[in-house]
Homo-oligomer: A and B are copies of this chain.
């Protein structure tokens, strides 16, 4: 799914280090897809054919590994934010994108939680990155929608994302969480009280 995920090339890595980094990442991606964000690091290392110490050297914390694994997905989401701007209705654009955020989080168990956690206790150099990438993608959509009068004033992008992530978290273990999540998002967007 993800092709060119590489380490940040501050100083070029030794070839074997780069190779192991990539193998760990691939194994982690598979394991997380299967077991969620609390997959066993030990097993990831085993499947990658490296010692556990190597995994811990490359990724000092579970959070660090999650960040890198999820980065590609987050980037896709940011792309999506640019795509939806083609919608002539900025309100629609924002809603479509929020829906995509929920859907994305639902199909990557633990992504939502990881993103939120990353907001305030991840590795500072890296931890906040995913969170801020998404936030800055969303803020543009929100501004346009706000100017179009489609959004109640005083609504912050952080609120919307927290809400979207909350819904994704809450529904990700449900039997058919996707439908449930969609319904809840619609409900939250429209409000519980009667309309117009």
Contacts and interface: CB of A to CB of B under 8 A. Distances in A.
A50 interface: no
Given A166-B169, A169-B169, A170-B165, A151 B194 contact: yes
Interface stretch (A21-29, A64-72, A154-162): A154-162
Interface residues of A, number: 35
A82 interface: no
B155 A184 contact: no
Identical chains bound together, number: 2
B196 A192 contact: no
A160 B116 contact: no
A189 interface: yes
Interface centre among A162, A169, A174 (most CB of B within 10 A): A162
A91 interface: yes
B193 A189 contact: yes
A150 interface: yes
A14 interface: no
